[in-house]
Amino acid sequence: MLLSGGAKLCRFDNTQDSPWNVVDTLLAIKPLDLEILRNDLDKIQKTMAILKARLARPKRAFFAFIFDFIKSKVRILMFLS
């Protein structure tokens, strides 16, 4: 299905020539297609950076989360009264 839609198949053999074969295939594509590919790769990089940042955050204990939630609600109630 992808190949019939115009996707290209490149084989990576874990040799020094394999990446160059992929690059040669990409260079044979029309410039517009490369711009679309670049935009897609940029989106993937941004998404990966966001996910990496989220995973790097320290994990909090469940009860600490509940305590902070209740504390915020108490502040609101004290403000309203």
What's the domain count of the chain? 1
For residue 6, give the DSSP letter: T
38-54 pLDDT, tens digit each: 788 888 889 988 888 88
- 17 in any annotated domain: no
Above 70 in pLDDT, residue 32? Answer: no
- 69 in any annotated domain: yes
**DSSP helix/strand/coil, 11:** coil
60-70 pLDDT, tens digit each: 788 888 888 88
User: Where is pLDDT greater, at 32 or 47?
Assistant: 47
Q: Which domain holds residue 67?
A: 30-80
Q: What is the pTM of this model?
A: 0.36
- 23 in any annotated domain: no
Question: What DSSP string runs through 35-79?
Answer: HHHHHHHHHHHHHHHHHHHHHHSPPPPHHHHHHHHHHHHHHHHHH
- 18 in any annotated domain: no
Please tell me the distance from the alpha carbon of residue 66 to that of residue 51, in angstroms, as a whole number: 24
- 35 in any annotated domain: yes
- 2 in any annotated domain: no
- 55 in any annotated domain: yes
9-22 pLDDT, tens digit each: 788 788 888 888 88
